[in-house]
Chain A
Amino acid sequence: AQSVTQPDIHITVSEGASLELRCNYSYGATPYLFWYVQSPGQGLQLLLKYFSGDTLVQGIKGFEAEFKRSQSSFNLRKPSVHWSDAAEYFCAVGAQDSSYKLIFGSGTRLLVRP
């Protein structure tokens, strides 16, 4: 069965520091992978997605993610975090019967120190 693991529940970084949020997935074939961000009480905004091709994916707000098949990972990175990046981040994989049905990880809450 497909699953997504985000091992870090919380991460705190200083403003201006680099960020990496971890995501591991379990999937039988080539996955469709996504990163979403959620502000408190809000819906989800797509940061980036991977379907095929270049394994380094660029997204909005300066985020990028790298697909590593050998490690079953799709970690999210940002070179310099801004205070406005504080939010909940979800990694997701498209379900095998429909890539539009998403299986989400448990989320990582990012806190930014001034």
Chain B
Amino acid sequence: GAVVSQHPSRVICKSGTSVKIECRSLDFQATTMFWYRQFPKKSLMLMATSNEGSKATYEQGVEKDKFLINHASLTLSTLTVTSAHPEDSSFYICSAKGAGGRGSCTFGSGTRLTVV
């Protein structure tokens, strides 16, 4: 079945540094990927839609310059959290459109980011 690999699963970084999270579709091509953020004990909030070969589309209230998204190939999208602060600590999950049938996406296993 369709598999989406997300890496790293867990990262701790210092305030002010940048962190890159990768989302890779392993056995299918994903022209569109989505990035979600999940606060502790909360639901998932869509951050942005990542389209291969074009600029990402950000949801209202999401800082484009803080959360840089690059979708340079049909199997890879990256989310870079720039100049990270403790309030950016969260669980980030990607999903990829394409292999699960109409309307459904395959999710990665998530990345736990802790900024200290």
Contact = CB atoms under 8 A, between A and B. Distances in A.
Given A42-B110, A43-B107, A49-B103, A100 B42 contact: no
A98 B6 CA distance: 23
Interface residues of B, number: 26
A100 B93 contact: no
B23 to A, nearest CB: 11
Contacts of B91: 41
A45 to B, nearest CB: 8
Contact of B103 (A45, A99, A105, A106): A99
B43 A106 contact: yes
Interface string A76-114: 000000000000001000100011111111110000000
Contact of A100 (B45, B103, B110): B103
A98 B49 contact: yes
Contacts of A45: 107
A56 interface: no
B105 A102 contact: yes
B86 interface: no
A106 B105 CA distance: 19
A49 B56 CA distance: 27
The dominant DSSP class at the B interface is strand
Nearest to B10: A41
B25 interface: no
B112 interface: yes
Contacts of A99: 102-103
Given A103-B46, A106-B43, A32 B103 contact: yes
21 contacts: A34-B104, A43-B6, A43-B93, A43-B108, A44-B95, A44-B107, A49-B103, A49-B104, A90-B43, A90-B44, A100-B32, A100-B34, A101-B34, A101-B46, A102-B95, A102-B105, A103-B46, A104-B45, A105-B43, A106-B42, A106-B43
Complex A-B, nearest 9 residue pairs according to Cβ-Cβ distance, in ascending order: A99-B103, A43-B109, A44-B107, A43-B107, A100-B97, A32-B103, A104-B43, A106-B43, A104-B44
